[in-house]
Structure 1
């Protein structure tokens, strides 16, 4: 009787242990490693995981799926002057190449692509606080709230000869809930690198993400 009770108790303990690990470290958005097909982005955290996976796997289809059709990317220098601004279609071409296959994108050029996102701040932008300043304002969203992830992004891109770029930059991702119930990146904003203001000369050998996009697609 005692042996049977002990065996049952052992099974329960093993089952609970298999379900969860109370000592496991907490994961940040973009850190979860998922095997098999990427899951639908039903939460902002899953979307950030899918972004990380798309970048590291150089997955063109997955990358396109994380972007909202109204997507806008912007980066300014430390003087506030615009370095680069691009919308959805140009973003797809920058990373995945032209849709007709006549031009390679960053995912084609570099055979190794490392991407890491370290969360600094997470918050919600209340729509009522962001009216449209002008028609088509990419930052205006008075009728919906956006989820925001701001953090340090590190990338390493190397081609078959071992040449490439290293990016270490603060970036902000703004997410909206689409009509189909999936989260999408609608805004991607890069902070300027420190260095000679407006001169495009960072204090280290790092490249800013805009420079990589422009240089790789010349």
Structure 2
């Protein structure tokens, strides 16, 4: 099988080509998202998706994934479902988006309903909560790993993106400002900065 090249950001912040695998079929997209949906207990889905689609399967470059994640987090709805639609569309258009969303939602929904129906009150006991809390610790590690990689990529792009990133983090985490207000202010600033940067490089 032949690999193809896509543009991504290199270690020094410049553009560099990264090898990615051939485009998957619709069945492969569905099964990949089914695997993620059925094995991501305790949260941390975004980090698990990055590991699966960027590092393991190489269907996307790291830059493509993080750009898509940023877009999906700014849209209403569940982030991981938005991200599954975006990745599927990026790979195979509208049918890929449908396959990604179906793989993410349908099998895990069936499993959740089956577990509740079969296990009954057992899943509400303290043991189940302890197990999920333990798995959540690993999920948080995945999310932290992805967050640190994204922060490092932003820092390499220059001072202005770093300032926007830091201001957004402080506004949400430290000041606890409303999400809609923060996104409404910081997103246009980030878009304007990126457009200005691209225009300057074009010169």
Normalization by structure 1: what TM-score? 0.25
Bigger helix fraction: 2
* Greater strand fraction, Structure 1 or Structure 2: 1
